[in-house]
Amino acid sequence: MAKKIVLAVGLPGSGKSTYFKKRGIVPLSSDWLRVVLADDATEQRFQKWIFMALRYLLRLRLALGRHVSYIDATNLTRPERRHYFRIAKRYGCEVEAVYFDAPLEVCQRRNRARGRRVPEEAMLRLAARLCPPTLAEGFRRITTVHADGRTTTVVA
C-alpha cells in the first residue's frame, strides 16, 4: 500500500476537526500546535513556526514508516498545499484531499455558535482566498464533504 498524506481543505467552521474526531483519527493539527507552542489555539502571530513544526512532524511520521498522515488545517490555497506535494515526492507518497464544501453562511453560523470564534472579517477574508482542490494540482483522490453530509469522491 502506498503511503499517503491526507489534507483537509476548508474554512473555519466547515467541520474538519469534527470529521476527524468522529472517525477516531488523530491528525497533525495547526490548532493543536498553536496550543503546544504558543499556549493559545487562536494565536496567529507564529504561522511560519507552526507550519514548520507541523511539516517537521509529518516528515518524522513518514521517516518512521507511518502509512497515513492526516493534516487538520484550512489548507485554502495552492501555495499552502504545494509544500505537501514536495514532501510526498521525497517520501514516495500520494496526496489526497478531503474538501469541506460548506457554504460560508453555514461556516459563519457554526463559528458564531462555538467557543473559539474566528472574527467575522477574517472569515470573509479566508472565504475569498479559498481555492477548492483539483486533481490537476496533483491529488490522487479528492473526497468532497457536502453541506448536507453527503460525500462524493473523484480519483485521478
Ligand X SMILES: Nc1ncnc2c1ncn2[C@@H]1O[C@H](COP(=O)(O)OP(=O)(O)OP(=O)(O)O)[C@@H](O)[C@H]1O
By the criterion CB under 5 A, which residues form the site for Mg ion? 16-17
Give min distance, CB of 23 to ligand X, in A.
Answer: 12
Candidates 6, 10, 69, 93; binder of ligand X (CB under 6 A) is: 10
Q: Single out the segment in contact with ligand X by CB under 6 A; choices: 16-24, 32-40, 48-56, 91-99.
A: 16-24
* Beta strands 93-101 and 3-9, pairing class: parallel
Residue 34 as a binder of ligand X (CB under 6 A): the answer is no
Candidates 6, 9, 31, 62; binder of ligand X (CB under 6 A) is: 31
Q: Please identify which residue in the block is written with the cell numbers 482566498.
A: 129
Residue 125 as a binder of ligand X (CB under 6 A): the answer is no
Question: Are the beta carbons of 93 and 62 closer than 8 angstroms?
Answer: yes
Residue 29 or 69: the one with the smaller Cβ distance to ligand X is: 29
Sign (positive/negative) of CA torsion 132, 28, 19, 151?
A: positive
84 closest CA partner among 7, 29, 32, 3: 7
Residue 18 as a binder of ligand X (CB under 6 A): the answer is yes
Residue 114 as a binder of ligand X (CB under 6 A): the answer is yes
The rounded distance, in Å, linking the Cα atoms of 89 and 91 is: 6
Q: Which residue is nearest to Mg ion (CB)?
A: 17
Residue 110 as a binder of ligand X (CB under 6 A): the answer is yes
The rounded distance, in Å, linking the Cα atoms of 113 and 123 is: 14
Question: Are the beta carbons of 28 and 71 closer than 8 angstroms?
Answer: yes
Give the residues lining the site for ligand X (CB under 6 A): 10, 12-18, 31, 74, 110, 114, 118, 149
